[in-house]
Structure formats: C-alpha cells, structure tokens
Structure 1
Amino acid sequence: MSRFFWVRHGPTHAKTMVGWSDLPADLSDTAQVDRLAGHLPENALVISSDLSRARATADAIQGQRDRLAHDMDLREIHFGDWELKRFDEIEDEALIRNFWDNPGDVRPPNGESWHEVSARVDRAVARVMAAHPGRDIIAVAHFGVILTQVQQALQTGAYEAFAHRIENLSVTELHWQGGRWHAKGINHLP
C-alpha cells in the first residue's frame, strides 16, 4: 500500500485565478504550519510542485524527512490568458462558465483543460510510486492538482470533485490499495 498526503500550499491571498504564476505563500501562521508538520508521518518522503508557494510550504513542513526533487507536473492548472484575472474580468463568459461547470476538454485560451491537468498529475504520481513503491509520500501542491486525485479516489466526475473544498495548509489523504485509490480524508485541517 502507498499513502499520499496531499498538502495544499500556504495562502497567496490573491483574489484572481492563480495557476502557473509564481506567487509566494504566506506561512506566517507558524502554529498552523507546526500542527500540519506534526500531523504528517515522520518517515514520509516530501515532494512539491516547482512553484515557490509549494516549495516554501514543503520546506516549512519537511523537518527530518527526505526530500524529492520538485516536480513541474505538480503545478496548478495553467489558466493561460485568464491567469491572474478575476472571473468577472473574463470577456467570454460562456467559455469560463463552461470551463468550471463542465470540466473536461474545455480550456482557457493558451491554457490547459481539466483532462490535460489530470493526465499531467497522474504521470507525476505514477513516477513517484514507481520510484518509491510502498512509501508514504507528502505531496505539496495546489487546489486543482489535489482535486484531480480526489476525483480518482472517489471515482466521480470532475464537476463533483470541484464540490470539495481544499483549504490552504489542509491534508487530503489517499491510499493506493487493491489497484485503486481510496480517500481516507479530504481537506483535513490539523
């Protein structure tokens, strides 16, 4: 069995769609960061997205755990031309509504679709599991990344996966057992 502890990075406080922009995380709530670090298994390997908000969060919770190289495939959804814009700033209202209400093949201009994000994250997870079979993994990533894996564990559609909240500095625990993912906890705030 492999256990993944998906941690959403610290908050950026942005009120826009933040995908591949490299905004820093606010990790000033050291008590919450310490609770998070203490909740996670001591012998786990730590990996993160290559974006600074995920890297800094991984640094803050790593402790004595071994660290794997940052992985670009664990980046957030690439919002393309919508990057750093508020929903009400998007001119094509039908497209943005379709992107969120019917996630799948719909993509922002010059961005990526839900299916593309899911495939990218699945590749990263498969690589980590192949290289470290049976190990506990702490993966510090982003809202959309974590939801791709929640979708698989719950065997549901993307729209249903979007109904889940994934708070900053929360833990979503998924187990690989019997050839499939099982959700043991979603959006737990230690």
Structure 2
Amino acid sequence: MVTWWWIRHGPTHRRDMNGWTDVPADLSDTDLLRRVADHLPENAPVISSDLSRAITTADAIQGSRPRLPHDRGLREIHFGAWEARTFDDVQEEDPRLVRRYWEAPGDVRPPGGESWNDLSQRVNRSVDWLTGEAGDIIAVAHFGTILSQVQRALGCSALEVMARKIDNLSVTRLQFNGRGWDADIINHNL
C-alpha cells in the first residue's frame, strides 16, 4: 500500500486565475504549519511542485524528512492567456469559452493553456512514476493538482470533483493498493 499525503500550499491571497504564475505563499501561521508537520508520517519523503508557493510550504513542513527534487508535473493547471487575470476580466473577453471551461471541464482549454484532462494526465504521469511498492509520500501542491487525484480515487466526473474544497494547508490522503486508488481523507483541516 502506498499512501500519498497531499498538502495544499499556504495561501497566496490572490483572487485571480493563478496557475503557473509564480507567487509566494503566506506562511505566517507557524502554529498551523507545525500542526500539519506533526500530523504527517515522520520518515516519508517530501516532494513539491516547482512553484515557489509549494516549495516554501514544503520547506516549512519538512523537518528531518528526506526531500525529493521539485516536480514540474505537480504544478497547478496552466491558465494560458488567462493567467493572473480576474474572472471578470476574462469573462468580458470571451464569455462563452469561460462558461464552457468551468461548466464542462474536460477538454476545453483557455488560449495557450491546459484543459482539465491535460492537467490530470500530467499529474497522473508524475504520481505513477513516483508511486512505488509501499510507503508514504508527502506532496505539497495545488488545488487543481490535488483535485485531479481525488477525481482519480473517487472515479467521479471533473465537474463533480471541482465542487469540492481543498483549503490551503489542508491534508488529503489517498492510497494506492496495487490495483486502484482510494480516497481516505479529503480536505482535512488541522
């Protein structure tokens, strides 16, 4: 059995479509970071996406755990031309495309960006490559990254999984039993 302990990075306080835009995390809640770190298995390796908000969050909870190299495959969804823009701004530009993107997630892409299915395939490749025979892995990543794996474990649609919450610094625990994935804990706040 392999257990993935997914942690969403610390808050950025941004209210835009922030995917690949590299912005810092607010890690000022040191008590919460300590509780998250104490909740995680002691000897599990820590990996993060290669965006700074995930890297610094992983640094804050790592402790004496071993560290794996940052993984670009664990990045958030790429919003392309919509990156770092507000929903209202993008809505004015192309309301039909934005509506399809959020209401029928799957193959719809923003200009120059990724669809939900693109994100899921990218993250699945990284997770599959990192998943071994047994043990624990702590991964610090992003809302969409984590939800793509929750969708995989639950076997639900993209629209259904996007209705779920993944709070900053929450823990989601997913397990691979050699045949398939199970969702043990989703969005656990400490």
Give the shorter-chain TM-score range.
over 0.9
2:59 alignment partner AA = D
Structure 2 residue aligned with 1:92, among 91, 94, 118? Answer: 94
- Please give the alpha-carbon distance, in whole angstroms, between the structure 1 residues aligned to 2:133 and 2:119: 23
CA contact 1:25–1:56 (8 Å) conserved in 2: yes
CA distance in 1, matches of 2:43, 2:162: 31
Superposition deviation, residue 133 in structure 1: 2.7
Post-superposition CA distance 1:114-154 (Å, at most 9, x none): 1110000000001111xx43120001000000000000111
Give the residue type in structure 2 aligned to 1:29.
Answer: D
Matching of residues 113-128 of structure 1 within 5 Å: 113-128=115-130
Q: Does residue 111 of the first structure (1) align with residue 113 of the second (2)? A: yes
Of stretches 166-175 and 89-98 in structure 1, the one that deviates more from structure 2 is: 89-98
Q: CA RMSD in A?
A: 0.7
Give the equivalent residue in structure 2 for 1:151: 151
* Corresponding residue SS for 2:181: strand
1:93 maps to a residue whose letter is P
Give how far 1:97 is off: 1.2
Shift of 1:178: 4.6
Find the counterpart in structure 1 of residue 31 from structure 2: 31
Instruction: Calculate the TM-score normalised by the size of structure 1.
Output: 0.97
Query: Deviations for 1:76-108, whole angstroms, at most 9, x for unmatched residues?
Result: 000000001111101111111111111110000
How far apart, in 2, do the equivalents of 1:92 and 1:180 lie?
Answer: 39
Q: How does 1:131-146 map to 2 (within 5 A)?
A: 132-146=132-146
Aligned residues: 188
Q: 2:178, 2:163 → 1: CA distance?
A: 26
Alpha-carbon distance in 2 for matches of 1:168, 1:58: 13
Work out the CA distance in 1 between the residues paired with 2:56 and 2:99.
32
Runs of at least 5 residues in structure 1 that lack an aligned partner in the other structure: none
Q: Which amino acid aligns with 1:50?
A: D
CA distance in 1, matches of 2:18, 2:8: 13
Q: Deviations over 1:11-32 (max 9, x none)?
A: 0000101000100000000000
Percent sequence identity is 60
**Which consecutive unaligned segments of at least 5 residues does structure 2 have?**
none
What SS does structure 2 have at the residue aligned with 1:167? coil
Local SS of the residue matching 1:60: helix
Deviations, residues 46-80 of structure 1 (Å, cap 9, x unaligned): 00000000000000000011000000000000000
Amino acid at match of 1:12: T
* C-alpha deviation, 1:177, in angstroms: 1.1
Q: Does the Cα contact within 8 Å between 1:2 and 1:175 map onto a contact in 2?
A: yes
Separation in 2 of the partners of 1:20 and 1:182?
28
Aligned to 1:168: 168
